[in-house]
Amino acid sequence: MDFPVYVIYIVPILAVWASFAFAYIARPKNIKNINLLLAFSGAFLLSLTFLELLPEVYEGHDPKTIALYILAGILLQIFLEFFSKGAEHGHMHIDIKQNRFPILLFLSLSIHALVEGVPIHDNNSILYGIIIHKIPVAIILSIFLINSKMRLAWAILFVVFFSLMTPLGSFLSAQLPKLQGYGHILTALAIGVFFHISTIILFESSKGHSFNLQKLLVIILGIATAYFTLHM
């Protein structure tokens, strides 16, 4: 099913805003269920990357060159995590000082979100993956911002600008003529980012890096859902 262009731009924004509203109103204390949703999103996004993005990006291009850009995407995400401390996959290890806007966290998350938006404009299935990935991450990020020493106004400003980054990535990759010629390179970078994020989500766990049955079942469900989403 092809979405109207405005849906591609608006839905990622609404997903982040809704996640912040949920975190602010519900103030969840136990994030176990959120972590399970995060595991589902990781499996879903990784499956879409394998089943949809990889075959497309390799088609008509030099495989070794594409592989290098995918590796570059992995390295880019590792570099960004020096500043975000793992916020992209639900880990928050940053001390926010009172009344200070966390500019490094914002910039690293924004670059990540921009890259995420690149393959969405001409691939509707990836929109599902990004949204399902964004919701648990945005909830965890929102809980962190709300409980931090930051003023609520700064937290809302952070979330509003962060929510615009993924649609901006989609818009730039679709509308700028200079970028359109490098679409396969940008998509390969996005694949590298998705690989790193999704595998970290799947293979990191809260206790001893070991899987439990709930998480395993959620991962299998994520893979199956991605497969049937592509074949609907």
The pLDDT value recorded for residue 83 is 81
Rounded Cα distance between 116 and 12, Å, is 11
Q: How confident is the model at residue 97 (pLDDT cuts 50, 70, 90)?
A: low
- The predicted model scores a pTM of 0.86
d(CA 66, CA 54): 10
State the helix-helix crossing angle for 183-203 and 103-117, rounded to 10 degrees.
120
Q: How many CA atoms lie within 13 A of 227 on its CB side?
A: 6
Tell me the one-letter amino acid at 157: L
Q: How distant is the alpha carbon of residue 145 from its chain centre?
A: 18
> Quick one: DSSP state of residue 3?
P
What's the distance, Cα to Cα, between the start and end of the chain in Å? Answer: 9
**132 vs 86 pLDDT, higher one:** 132
Q: What's the pLDDT at 3?
A: 65
The pLDDT confidence band at residue 49, using thresholds 50, 70 and 90, is very high
Q: Does 81 score more than 80 pLDDT? A: yes
pLDDT at 87: 75
Task: pLDDT band for 210, please (50, 70, 90 cuts).
Answer: low
- Name the nearest CA neighbour of 77 among 45, 100, 51: 45
pLDDT for 54 equals 92
Q: What is the pLDDT of residues 99-109, one digit of tens each?
A: 667 788 889 88
User: Given CA atoms 146, 149, 160, 119 in this order, what sign does their dihedral have?
Assistant: negative
Among 21-35, 145-159, 199-213, the minimum mean pLDDT is found in 199-213
Most confident option among 27-41, 85-99, 159-173:
159-173
**H helices of 59-204, where?**
63-84, 103-117, 124-147, 152-175, 177-180, 183-203
In the three-class reduction of DSSP (H, G, I as helix; E, B as strand; rest coil), residue 19 is classed as helix
Task: Return the ∠ at Cα 43 (arms to 33 and 226), rounded to 5°.
Answer: 110
